[in-house]
Structure 1
Amino acid sequence: MMRFFLEIILSIVVVWQYTTIRNYQLEIEQLSGELNFLLDNQRGLLLLRTNSKTIQKLILSINDYLQMLYQKKADFQKMKTELHEMMINLSHDLKTPLTTLSGYVQLLHIRYNEDHNNYQSIDAILEKLQTKIAQTNRMITQFLDIAKIESGDIEIEFLQIDIGRLCKELVMEYYDILEINGFEVELHIETKPILINSDKNAVTCILHNLIDNALKYGIDGKYFGLTARETKQYIMIEVEDHGQGITEDEQAHIFERNYRGKAAKQQTNNGSGLGLAICHKLSKELHAELRVNSLPKIKTVFSLLLEKS
């Protein structure tokens, strides 16, 4: 009698195990089919009613993976589109100065043949050639910089630097341009050393771009200001101009790659649309923050906040 009951219990256990395993197989097959469908269509999440805690955990893990996969694909498509636009813009931007360079070379040849002793005319053309070459070289450098940052090839080395001294050295590089164009210059840099661990090349690149923009788009205001000061949490560098400025709706986009504001589009020799994008990406590499505050035709201030820690 006992043996009979044991056989019945064993049979029930076997049937229960078979049913459980079969349900697992059916649910997994259903999961597999829905997952293949989602992967083919690249959208949606797994939805399956099940009483199995294990299957529920598996579905949650798969959905987390799917969300990450969709985000990676969206990021890739965005980067692909931006790269395509950047290549189009770069080819256009390079074509214009290269065509101009070719024209200047031809004009130089003509002037030299007409009167090779006319040094004043020849010097004027050579000066324009030099300016265009510098502009073209800067575009190529910016393109290479953004490519390095995007690929992760840029090397950031955190060493102690004196921000105050660096700012003074950079302003001196622009002394002739500021004087020739009649800029009013105000510097507010603390006399004591402003020391921080950061990457000197990256900070220099950011400030070069910010100063270039201040002089280019602030030419109407004839004002250039640079402040370097220390707070409890940050080393703050501010570059200020009183030019055309940036409207509120543009301020949300100016750090995007290839974006050109209204002021940039009005410039005859506008840039590549990469300068501020490079600044923004480099500031992230430095664990810093880049801000802008602008009142058009009154004051525009770009602030670089370097964390002291």
Structure 2
Amino acid sequence: MTAALGVVICLLLLGLVMQYRKSRHDSRQLKYIHEKLNDIISRNSQERLLLFSTSPELRLLLTDMNRLLEINHEGIARRNKLEKSMRQMLANISHDLKNPLTVVLGYIETLLQDGDMEAEERERLLGMIHRKAGEVITLMNTFFDLAKLESGDRELPLSRVEAGEVCRRNILAFYDTLSAKETEVVIEIPDEPCYMRGNDEALDRILSNLLSNAIMYGASGGVLGLKLYNDKNTVYFEIWDRGKGISADHQDKVFERLYTLEDSRNRVYQGSGLGLTITKRLTEQMNGTISLVSKPFVRTAFTVAFPRINF
């Protein structure tokens, strides 16, 4: 009996010792996690916690904490990208507003200082002031439109739309411009009606932006194309040209706010850098997608796709 009691006591003592050692081991691990986590956060490091524990519960906790660290790092990266984008946007806004306003002020000073100016010259300068002021108003309205789209304040009522009619009226709107540039136009629109769920006004703006973009940047190719096609579930609008195109390192950036190609700051290629951003936002509001494929002087094509309505 005494021997049995001694064995029990020994086993209890052994269990207590093992439990104490395990407790100390867990305490050291928890201390490491605390210190390492603070270090990672303070340095904004991309490190992760090591999964060194033999405890299944602690390993599960470490795995979850690493996932949180990864989410936090992605959030910081997005914030840094947004801050950089905002700084660039402010610089571009300043640039785009400064140019026409500087011209307007210059013309006004000329009018004020030259009291003997001939009536014809005065009318010419007033016409230039009017046009430049109009450019500023147009640019400010574009900024306002984008702000409304990105804030979610603007809801687009959707209804059944015949895509072929949208294509026809938009290409006709550019008939004079294309004729003046002697641009060959290739139109592929099926004879049978093609229906989708969308918003007429938004679709007009999308196609107008893409056609304007193709005319502005693709004129050197001498040809512009508009193609409408569909499959069982999707309607596709494709606007293409054979102009200077967009290099691979720029293609993933053209839909960013106020992003413009380097030479778009030249007078020939002047643009606000907002057209494609607005196009993308409007497309997404109608449950669509937009993509770009470009090979300079061979084919540059923007394709917008929307769910088809089958009747």
The TM-score normalised by the length of structure 1 is 0.81
Tell me, yes or no, if structure 1 residue 37 matches structure 2 residue 42: no
Q: Secondary structure at the match of 1:225?
A: strand
Per the TM alignment, residue 245 of structure 1 is displaced from its structure 2 partner at its CA by: 3.4
Letter in 1 for 2:66: N
> How big is each residue's C-alpha offset from its partner over 1:42-80, in whole Å with a ceiling of 9 and x where there is no partner?
111112521111111111111111111111101110110
Unaligned runs of 5+ in 1: none
List aligned pairs for 1:1-309, cutoff 5 A.
1=1, 3-43=5-45, 44-105=47-108, 114=117, 118=120, 122=123, 124-125=124-125, 127-153=127-153, 155=155, 158-221=158-221, 223-268=223-268, 270-285=270-285, 286-296=287-297, 299-308=299-308
Separation in 1 of the partners of 2:151 and 2:35?
A: 36
Separation in 2 of the partners of 1:225 and 1:133?
A: 33
Per the TM alignment, residue 156 of structure 1 is displaced from its structure 2 partner at its CA by: 5.2
Separation in 2 of the partners of 1:125 and 1:220?
A: 32
Per the TM alignment, residue 127 of structure 1 is displaced from its structure 2 partner at its CA by: 5.0
Partners of 1:288 and 1:307 within 8 A in 2: no
Separation in 1 of the partners of 2:156 and 2:70?
A: 31
Separation in 2 of the partners of 1:220 and 1:107?
A: 37
Per the TM alignment, residue 256 of structure 1 is displaced from its structure 2 partner at its CA by: 4.0
Per the TM alignment, residue 250 of structure 1 is displaced from its structure 2 partner at its CA by: 4.2
CA separation of 1:25 and 1:250: change in aligned 2, threshold 3 A: closer
Per the TM alignment, residue 89 of structure 1 is displaced from its structure 2 partner at its CA by: 1.3
Per the TM alignment, residue 165 of structure 1 is displaced from its structure 2 partner at its CA by: 1.8
Partners of 1:238 and 1:301 within 8 A in 2: yes
Letter in 2 for 1:37: D
> How big is each residue's C-alpha offset from its partner over 1:143-185, in whole Å with a ceiling of 9 and x where there is no partner?
3444445555554554432222222232343344344544444
Separation in 1 of the partners of 2:183 and 2:131?
A: 20
Q: CA RMSD in A?
A: 3.3
Per the TM alignment, residue 243 of structure 1 is displaced from its structure 2 partner at its CA by: 3.9
Percentage of matched positions with identical amino acids = 28
Partners of 1:280 and 1:290 within 8 A in 2: no
Separation in 2 of the partners of 1:111 and 1:182?
A: 42
Letter in 1 for 2:57: T
Per the TM alignment, residue 195 of structure 1 is displaced from its structure 2 partner at its CA by: 1.1
> How big is each residue's C-alpha offset from its partner over 1:79-130, in whole Å with a ceiling of 9 and x where there is no partner?
10111011011101110011123334556678997455x5x972x5555445
Letter in 2 for 1:99: T
